[in-house]
Amino acid sequence: MRFALRAIVIVAVLGSFQTAALHTAGAQGYPTRAITLIVPYPAGGPSDTLARIMSEPLKAALGQSVVVENVTGAGGGIGTGRVAKADPDGYTIGIGHNQTHVINGVNPNLAYDVVKDFEPVTLIADTPIWIVARKNLPANDIKEFIAWLKQPDTKASSGAVGVGGPGDIAVAAFQRQTDTRFPLVPYRGGAPVLQDLLSGQIDFTFGQAATYVPYIRNGQLKALAVLTPKRWWAAPDVPTLDEAGIKDIYAGFWHGIWVPKGTPKPIVDKLNAAFSQTLTDATVQKRFQDIGQEIFPASQQSPAALAAKQKAEIERWWPVIKAAGIKIE
């Protein structure tokens, strides 16, 4: 019996060494084929735009093609769940932000754990939320906007990505402070919200600033306020909510890259180095700047920095969401 037990232990130890050796060998040769970068939102939205800007420089950095795949639905939950369930071999990676990897974690029916099912790779870029309206909305600043919302005959509609995203949380705080009410129309992603806003199907949105910068600049839409403590560098003429006396409603969308839990550290490190190289590319930096995305400094582009950012955001937002009774779906 003792001999048999010892044999089992030896086999188990040898098996673990063999598995580790296979992981190491696979990591050393990585990558040997195309990598899929999953975007959990529709084509044309801010997450998709970031992914596609980076895909070619990443190919140069990794020596393999990076194929962008849009897997939409459930406020980013379906695509992000696909990443969580993928083989941890570095060939399926995901871009996400504070909805997919922070806010969605409040949903008790979520098919993945926003922390335990992923390995962080790097922070990418950040952009604030602002209030953007159709160009012919009968309000030209935030005070006129609030007055318009309070008119008895106003039937306002606001677009939102999914249910319970960062914009929705900002909306709840805005409604409490301004004593206004308006319905939110849920969408699968930022691109369809933009399309309906441009066509006048909805009146306004609390959306990612990067999505709307070109349309604000050419007069197709108008920005009423930005949800930052100070005016935003990319649109310094747009006032903050604080300037209108609506205090402490600050929200934005920071993006990061994750891989499935269990992905070997050498592969995570190689991906991190590739993204860091990509984010120093002058063309990438210019294209990010043009759409209002601010790249995180090099000191914040480590897996540990992304993990710390996610942890801090969870500690900040989960109590707010639960206290407000916001349902994340």
CATH code, domain carrying 278: 3.40.190.150
Nearest to 94 by CA among 213, 231, 237, 256: 256
- d(C-alpha 11, C-alpha 200), whole Å: 67
Nearest to 185 by CA among 154, 206, 214: 206
254 has a pLDDT exceeding 80: yes
For the chain, what percent of residues have pLDDT higher than 70?
Answer: 91
What's the confidence (pLDDT) of residue 19?
45
9 has a pLDDT exceeding 50: no
Average pLDDT, the chain: 90
The single-letter code of the amino acid at 89 is D
For the chain, what percent of residues have pLDDT higher than 90?
Answer: 72
- The answer to whether the peptide bond before residue 31 is cis (omega within 30 degrees of 0) is yes
Q: Which helix (H) or strand (E) holds 138?
A: none
Residues 227 and 193 in one domain: yes
Residues 98 and 82 in one domain: yes
Contacts of 290 (CB under 8 A, 6+ apart): 213
Read off the pLDDT band of 26 (50, 70, 90): low
Q: What is the pTM of this model?
A: 0.83
- Boundaries of domain holding 267: 32-126+255-324
At residue 128, the 3 state secondary structure works out as: strand
Question: If you compute the radius of gyration of the chain from its CA atoms, what whole number of angstroms results?
Answer: 22
Residues 141 and 59 in one domain: no
**Range scoring the smallest mean pLDDT among 19-23, 48-52, 107-111, 292-296:** 19-23
Read off the pLDDT band of 201 (50, 70, 90): very high
Residues 155 and 215 in one domain: yes
> Are the C-beta atoms of residues 198 and 215 closer than 8 Å to each other?
yes
- d(C-alpha 161, C-alpha 117), whole Å: 23
Q: Tally the domains of the chain.
A: 2
Q: What's the rounded mean pLDDT across residues 306-329?
A: 87
